[in-house]
């Protein structure tokens, strides 16, 4: 998946996978924080034009 194809629905599915595999909310939150950092950096570097606000699980 390309960075500019990431959307809220896909992130929600991704986060649900953490729970489905028995991982904690803290683990999912840490992954989400990392994703947000990567997307913001991609925006700053001009790789993508926007970022989406994703909610914590």
User: For the segment 12-54, what is each residue's pLDDT rounded down to a tens digit?
Assistant: 999 999 999 999 999 999 999 999 999 889 889 988 887 666 6
Q: Cα separation of 4 and 39, whole Å?
A: 9
**What contacts 42, CB < 8 A, 6 or more positions away?**
3, 48
Q: Cβ-count burial of 42 within 10 angstroms (0-12 exposed, 13-18 middle, 19+ buried)?
A: middle
State the average pLDDT over residues 3-7. Answer: 82
- pLDDT over 70 at 3, yes or no: yes
Q: So what's the pLDDT on residue 48?
A: 85
Asked whether the predicted pLDDT for residue 4 surpasses 70, the reply is yes
Task: Answer whether residue 57 shows pLDDT above 60.
Answer: no
pTM: 0.78
Contact 54, 32 (CB under 8 A): yes
């Amino acid at each position: 998946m390309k960075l500019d194809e990431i959307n809220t629905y896909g992130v929600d599915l991704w986060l649900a996978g953490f729970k489905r595999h028995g991982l904690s909310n803290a683990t999912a939150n840490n992954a989400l924080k990392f994703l947000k950092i990567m997307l913001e950096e991609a925006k700053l570097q001009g790789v993508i034009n926007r970022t989406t606000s994703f909610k914590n699980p």
